[in-house]
Structure 1
Amino acid sequence: MTAKEQVQEFYQLNGPLNKSLMEQFIHDEIIFNWHSSKGFLQLDKQDLKALATELGKSYVASRIEISHILEENNVVSVNYTHYVSPIENPNEEMILAHFMVICELKENQLYRVYQMSQLT
């Protein structure tokens, strides 16, 4: 599987909110650099799992729609919109945020990630 296919599968299977997928797709030594509208975070694998748990408590459904994905060697860039359905209103789907991500893979797993997000 190419680096692009790995990253695409991770996001299409809703990997950012799925702790079991993280075991398969995220390297143990990941460094996840995230610039959001609320500031900068640097996360490791345990932090990402904790974030997935917290988000899972707020949303009953989640999906990711990729608009662009590009690959060069072991680096993949992804532009996507993350949609969620909140627990308070499970029949409503809303945009959580828009994301631009650059992923470097090592041993076929996400190893270095640089992400920017913007709330709507």
Structure 2
Amino acid sequence: MKPKDIVLDFYKSDVLLDKKTVSELLHPEVTIDWNSSEGFIQMDYEDMMSLTDQMARAYIRSKIRISHILQEDNLVSLRFSHFVKTIENPREDMLLGNFFVIWEIKDEKLFKGFQMSHFS
């Protein structure tokens, strides 16, 4: 599978709420360095699985709108907006934030991520 396709599988609708699918797409040694409006966060596999659990409890729907995607060798860059539907308001898409991420793919899995975001 091409690196671009692996990244696209990760950002399909509702995947970020599905622990089983997320676990299949992440390398066991995955790390992500995330610069957010809240500050710097470094996450590993367990942290990402915990985030998936938290999101699944808070949202009933997760949708990614990709505006740019580029691949060079095993690196994939992606610019996207993340929308969610809450349990309290299931009829309205809420913009969670705007993101830019660079993923390194290893063994056909997401291995190293470098992400910046601005929350809505």
For the aligned pair, the TM-score class normalised by the smaller chain equals over 0.9
- Structure 1 residue ranges (4+ consecutive) displaced by more than 2 angstroms after TM superposition: 13-18
For normalisation by structure 1, the TM-score amounts to: 0.94
Q: How many residues align?
A: 120
| Deviations 1:52-85 (CA, angstroms, capped at 9, x unpaired) | 1111111111111111100000000011111001
Corresponding residue for residue 26 of structure 2: 26
Corresponding residue for residue 66 of structure 1: 66
Residues 12 and 65, structure 1, Cα contact 8 Å, conserved in 2: no
Alignment RMSD, CA only?
1.1
Offset at residue 44 of structure 1 (A): 0.6
Residues 100 and 115, structure 2, Cα contact 8 Å, conserved in 1: yes
Structure 1, unaligned runs of 5 or more: none
Percentage of matched positions with identical amino acids = 40
In 2: Cα distance, 1:14 partner to 1:77 partner: 20
In 1: Cα distance, 2:19 partner to 2:62 partner: 14
Offset at residue 9 of structure 1 (A): 1.6
